[in-house]
Structure 1
Amino acid sequence: MTWTEEWATADDGVRLWTARSGEGEPLVLCHGGPGLWDMFEDMAEPLTGRATVVRWDQRGCGRSQPCAGPWTGERFTADLDAVREHFGFHRIALLGHSWGAQLALSYALSRPERVSALIYVSGTGIGPDADWHPAHRENFLARLGERPELLARWRYLASRQHPTPEEERERAVHQWSAEFEDRARALEHAGRMADPWFPVNDACNKALDEERRRGWATPERYAACQALEVPVLIVDGARDIRPRSAVDSLERALPKVRRVILPGAGHMPWTEDPDGFRVAVVPALP
């Protein structure tokens, strides 16, 4: 499958890397992080037969133009709108994964008239961090601890004050390997996520994580979700180390929602159950 790469420009002049492929109604993908880059090529290619698929790297991340922020949810939703405008799409379907699910939901809440459908994959809901973060940390350490040498190496790399680029990549691969239920192939899957490799934007990650902790779980957001008329598909991997119960509050709030839980998959369900993921997602496309 051929991807056509283009630059979209945000309203403050920052250039955003995009890639487009396929035919049909537009589907824009929002990658996780924050501070990472698009890793969706394997997941996206089966969808290009049903949609015009657009991938993009978020502000200051991956192949997009380096910049000093600002690192706010409002800024990132404006950047997503700039991607929509760049391609001349009146309305778009959105698929967001992890942090990208939060971004896609934020966009749908702020610009519902621009969204035809929302596919919310492996997010953490609209409740407080206490609903999922302590259990996530415990599950992460337990899963890496199944191979003590892997956990020890990750802890060593995480303690390095001035790691080399090679060490930063190795740490990320070890860390991401905990996201997969299939432990025999976890490092292989995580290695594919790190190819190509770009520096993680730590400033972006810290700022947006702090913004979520401060102000994401509010009665106003719950009420906004209750009023959202966009059809939403929630897709979970049952073996995600983030407890799936955290997403229950979002499911309860949304008036037009369907939820699919893939029993043998972790945080990247399209990798561990590609057929189940495709069967869940394709009917949700406009």
Structure 2
Amino acid sequence: MTKAADGVPADARAAAGEAVTADDGVRLWAARPDGGGDPLVLCHGGPGLWDMFGDVAALLADRTPVVRWDQRGCGRSERCAGPWTTARFVADLDAVRRHFGLDRMALLGHSWGAQLALSYALAHPERVSRLVYVSGTGIGPDADWHPVYTAGFLARLGESPERLARWRELEALPERDEAAERERAALRWSVEFEDRECALEHARRMAEPWFGVNQACNRALNEERKRTWGTPGLRAACARLDVPVLIVDGARDIRPRTAVDSLAAVLPRVRRVVLPAAGHLPWVEDPAGFRRAILAS
């Protein structure tokens, strides 16, 4: 773990954070390191999760300061009743931009956060200097990737029959306490790593600290994607996007990387890097390759 000049671990300093007030008064947790330089603003995955970018911040600390934040109703941000829409989350991201005094910002989004960062760039291209799109699923309909993902999930978790059986047991419970929720999440997230020996350890790190998954947020934004993604209008908007975009994939992600072709094929200013030995969180399994890709963009 990297340390600041005063000896405080960087991730501990980030955990304190500060409050960003959205235009409807909801308070969002956010953090950026001390020091100058144009930061890279990070959009975490989910929907309904929280910032898990401590390793990314440490990986880039000597070259690029980062802004981390928890999305509405998630993690360390204020619990609220939504609304759970992409437009609302785009407005929240713009509040983060204003709070840190950024005229334009470089954006990195991971998984659902890649979709959010792309949505922001489409809404406000003049406010984005570059976009890094990590482990997304493209702009096609769910049918392009979700059935393959589901099959891959069961196959990869099924490599350990005990883990698959335990996940199914937890999934079937009508109610789960915090310990059961954390265990269920770690088992589910373990499929995201190509290194099967270390997969569960990596997944347990994702669940520490634990803030609880915002299931209402998750359901609503996933349903919105099913209605609005995969349209000719979205494809046309991406074809007009005059922002440099870097797409970073882990080749061993169980979401089919061919789904991302739908985005890569239409963007006018795009570069793509595929890390062959990495899964859904490429900075965990190929930190050197991930760092090279980001700093070269």
| TM superposition score normalised by structure 1 | 0.98
Structural mapping, 1:235-246, within 5 Å: 235-246=248-259
Tell me the amino acid that sits aligned with residue 27 of structure 2.
Answer: R
> Bigger CA drift: 58-67 or 216-225?
216-225
Deviation per CA, 1:81-120: give whole Å up to 9, x if none.
0000001110100000000000000000000000000000
Q: How many correspondences in the alignment? A: 284
Partner Cα separation in structure 1 for residue 201 and residue 36 of structure 2: 31
Alignment match, 1:16: 28
Provide the secondary structure at the position in 2 that maps to 1:12. Answer: coil
Structural mapping, 1:1-286, within 5 Å: 1=3, 2=10, 3-4=13-14, 5-21=17-33, 23-284=36-297
Deviation per CA, 1:155-206: give whole Å up to 9, x if none.
0101111101000000000000000000000000001100000110000000
Structure 2, unpaired ranges of 5+: 4-9
Partner Cα separation in structure 1 for residue 287 and residue 147 of structure 2: 29
Partner Cα separation in structure 2 for residue 48 and residue 104 of structure 1: 21
Deviation per CA, 1:135-172: give whole Å up to 9, x if none.
00000000000000000000010111110100000000
Structure 1, unpaired ranges of 5+: none
Provide the secondary structure at the position in 1 that maps to 2:140. Answer: coil
1:52 Cα deviation (Å)? 2.6
1:44 Cα deviation (Å)? 1.6
Alignment match, 2:7: none
Identity between Structure 1 and Structure 2 (%): 70
The list of structure 1 runs, each at least 4 consecutive aligned residues, that deviate by more than 6 angstroms after superposition, is none
| TM superposition score normalised by structure 2 | 0.94
Tell me the amino acid that sits aligned with residue 238 of structure 2.
Answer: C
Provide the secondary structure at the position in 2 that maps to 1:279. Answer: helix
Partner Cα separation in structure 2 for residue 170 and residue 105 of structure 1: 32
Does the 8 Å CA contact 1:23/1:50 hold for their aligned counterparts? no
Provide the secondary structure at the position in 1 that maps to 2:159. Answer: coil
Does the 8 Å CA contact 2:57/2:65 hold for their aligned counterparts? no
Does the 8 Å CA contact 1:23/1:49 hold for their aligned counterparts? no
Does the 8 Å CA contact 2:239/2:268 hold for their aligned counterparts? yes
Partner Cα separation in structure 2 for residue 85 and residue 176 of structure 1: 33
1:23 Cα deviation (Å)? 3.6
Provide the secondary structure at the position in 1 that maps to 2:265. Answer: helix
